[in-house]
Structure 1
Amino acid sequence: MKARTRAAVIAGLAAVLTVWPGSAMSDTVADQGIRYVALGDSRAAGPYLDAAALLDGCARADAGYPNLVARSLQVVSFTNVACTGARTEHLTSVPQETTTGPMPPQIEALAPDTDLVTVSIGGNDVGWSGLVSSCYTDLPGGDAHCRTDPGTTSRMTAALDALGPKVTGALTAVRQRAPRARVLLVGHGGVYGNRACWPNIPTSDADAVFVTDFFTRMNRVLAASAAAAGAEFVDVTVGTEGHDACAPSEQRWYEGRQSLSLARPLHPTAAGMRHMAQRVLDAVQRNADR
């Protein structure tokens, strides 16, 4: 990274207060000239979390983690083009159709002087909600045994095998478009834990563990893609134990199939977005000397 950018990130992060879910983001960070662009899908957009998401064709909320990161760093410029439903091709080459019209490929928001890029992508490419639906049961206490079903396991493996090259290609294009930026790929997971809670997570406990392992595998693919493209991977599952979709509503960072908050089902709550923002800020601070 260029010396100016590295110094800007170090100086900006030095004043960032620790931000845990439920606490206020820092308003005291001096503007250090960081130019930040957020790319990605609904895990960055934050559909339905606030009024801004209801008015935007991409369902992009002010409560999404990119906005929280931008406010904590008090960046000199911030562009958020994350869009619900986005796939890797919507980052690089294909306009995405939304309720307010087509959105250009997100990569067009980048510039040569961009300093920081976050990317949340991959979930729609693999169609994870469809993959795990074979684990669901119609009645409480049931067990679909998807963990031992050859069809389910082969579909999951095929989807993850196809994902790696797509993400590597997208991240490579991002780095070419913004050559001096730090690029952070934000991972998946958090909705499922090691237990079920029908009908919110309508699986057996054993299948819930199996689904959680699927996201662990997905994060390995994402981490490998980030490394191959010269980007950095941010694991947002760290610290989420006890905050999955089966947790009490006041402790929940991710909603299940039946949302008890403004968050879209199977997406982060406002508290989950604060957790994700903190993980991104931790990554920037931890590696600011690169």
Structure 2
Amino acid sequence: MNRTSRLAVLGTALVGLLTPLLLQPAQAAAPSYVALGDSYASGTGTRSYIADGTGCQRSTSAYPSLIAAARGYALNFRACSGATVTDVTNTQLSALTASTSYVSISVGGNDAGFADVLTECAQPWWSSNCDGAINTAQAYITNTLPSRLSTLYAAIRSRAPYARVVVVGYPRIFMGEDCNAFTWFSPAEQTRLNQTADLLNSRLSTAASAAGFSFGNPTSRFIGHAVCDADEWINGLSSPISESYHPKATGHSGGYTPTVSPLLTGATVAVTAAVVAESSASGEEQAALQRQYADADRSIEQESFVAPDLTTPEARRAARRAGVDIDRFLARSRR
């Protein structure tokens, strides 16, 4: 066999070896999932947060991270504690593209003054205007928030035209009893606060439907797991204070994940030990990704509950006006 023939045979053999490799499809990129929203999406209340250089309090125990870990999605975890509709628009929507496959969005509570209303209602009756604060929040939810949600949802659809989008609601926080020392939510106030959560969910659901999005309502999942229930999935008065009145890790694994995952992915995610481990292992990668947005995220004003302080001159004046002996009142509260 001459040299030319040998080269021809060798070339044919190489083609035969390489063809199967060349015909193999390229490994598909993981579906893109962008999690937008506020503290109820970021995971405030779960006690452990990724080190991304911000105050956003993003947690690998939060439902976006758990769902992404279970399904193998490429998560961009933009949700940030304190975010309002304006903050989501200005600092989070840039993460969306035409290749985004999945989006979850939880926002509206801070727009309605969630933290300020709780701060007011936690005061004793003689020191607060809880009904006034609730009335103001409900008026905002009814009259102002819907149009802002509509504009936001339209922007999400414009930036992520092919994504499946789930709007996520809020649980009822209270069960009718205040077991925490140094907060004074009355049963009637707790009922009205829960009704306000229901009202907010109603408006979120309506706006989601109008935009062609799904709505995930966590209310039923959290029944029996409110603040002061025996199996509590929501923090009461806590230290650090920012954890107060936010879902614990169990609230995200047992409440939010089974609410959101079937709507977002088509099947309910089971939060197994392996899923928790996978989610936890993603923390460093997610922190590195979020650091590129840190300057924008630091512009978000962190909203936080403020615990009552009845030792102030203002509190003492309010007690005197109401005919309350504040020292006796505090002594009884400490027992």
- Whichever residue aligns with residue 61 of structure 2, its letter is A
**1:111 and 2:90 correspond:** no
- Residue 130 of structure 1 aligns with which residue? 116
- Residue 88 of structure 2 aligns with which residue? 91
Say if 1:211 and 1:201 are closer, same or farther in 2 by CA, change over 3 A.
farther
Contact 1:200–1:245 (8 Å) recurs in 2: no
- Whichever residue aligns with residue 282 of structure 1, its letter is P
Contact 2:134–2:196 (8 Å) recurs in 1: no
- Residue 273 of structure 1 aligns with which residue? 252
Paired with 2:118 and 2:84, the residues of 1 have a C-alpha distance of: 19
Q: Among residues 106, 111, 115, which one is paired with 1:120 in the alignment? A: 106
- Residue 64 of structure 1 aligns with which residue? 62
Paired with 1:52 and 1:196, the residues of 2 have a C-alpha distance of: 28
Q: Among residues 218, 228, 236, which one is paired with 2:218 in the alignment? A: 236
Paired with 1:120 and 1:265, the residues of 2 have a C-alpha distance of: 18
Q: Among residues 65, 78, 88, which one is paired with 2:75 in the alignment? A: 78
SS state of the match for residue 75, structure 2? strand
Say if 1:153 and 1:271 are closer, same or farther in 2 by CA, change over 3 A.
closer
SS state of the match for residue 36, structure 1? strand
- Whichever residue aligns with residue 158 of structure 1, its letter is A
Is the radius of gyration larger for structure 1 or structure 2? Answer: 2
Post-superposition Cα deviations, 1:258-277, rounded to whole Å, max 9, x if no partner, equal 35x99811111000111211
SS state of the match for residue 125, structure 1? coil
Paired with 1:174 and 1:219, the residues of 2 have a C-alpha distance of: 19
Post-superposition Cα deviations, 1:179-229, rounded to whole Å, max 9, x if no partner, equal 010110110123223333243762111221111111001110111111122
Contact 2:117–2:134 (8 Å) recurs in 1: no
SS state of the match for residue 111, structure 2? helix
**Deviation for aligned residue 1:121:** 0.7
Give the unaligned 5+ runs of structure 1. 1-30, 94-104
- Whichever residue aligns with residue 136 of structure 1, its letter is A
For normalisation by structure 1, the TM-score amounts to: 0.73
- Residue 156 of structure 2 aligns with which residue? 174
Say if 1:32 and 1:115 are closer, same or farther in 2 by CA, change over 3 A.
same
Paired with 1:54 and 1:253, the residues of 2 have a C-alpha distance of: 24
- Residue 140 of structure 2 aligns with which residue? 159
Paired with 1:146 and 1:194, the residues of 2 have a C-alpha distance of: 19
Paired with 2:103 and 2:83, the residues of 1 have a C-alpha distance of: 16
Paired with 1:48 and 1:212, the residues of 2 have a C-alpha distance of: 19
Q: Among residues 255, 260, 263, which one is paired with 2:235 in the alignment? A: 255
Contact 2:122–2:184 (8 Å) recurs in 1: yes
**Deviation for aligned residue 1:50:** 5.1
- Residue 195 of structure 1 aligns with which residue? 177
SS state of the match for residue 38, structure 1? strand
Within a 5 Å distance, the mapping from 1:141-160 to structure 2 comes to 149=131, 151-160=132-141
**Deviation for aligned residue 1:162:** 1.4
**Deviation for aligned residue 1:52:** 3.6
Say if 1:92 and 1:281 are closer, same or farther in 2 by CA, change over 3 A.
same
Paired with 1:52 and 1:127, the residues of 2 have a C-alpha distance of: 24
Say if 1:156 and 1:52 are closer, same or farther in 2 by CA, change over 3 A.
closer
SS state of the match for residue 126, structure 1? coil
- Residue 209 of structure 2 aligns with which residue? 227
- Decide which structure has greater helix share: 2
Paired with 2:114 and 2:52, the residues of 1 have a C-alpha distance of: 27
Q: Among residues 199, 217, 233, which one is paired with 1:217 in the alignment? A: 199
- Residue 6 of structure 1 aligns with which residue? none
Paired with 2:220 and 2:260, the residues of 1 have a C-alpha distance of: 12
Which gives a bigger RCO, structure 1 or 2 (Cα 8 Å, sep 6+)?
Answer: 2
- Whichever residue aligns with residue 71 of structure 1, its letter is A
For normalisation by structure 2, the TM-score amounts to: 0.64
**Deviation for aligned residue 1:48:** 6.2
SS state of the match for residue 144, structure 2? helix
Percent identity of equivalent pairs: 29
**Deviation for aligned residue 1:127:** 1.0
SS state of the match for residue 147, structure 2? helix
Contact 1:59–1:84 (8 Å) recurs in 2: yes
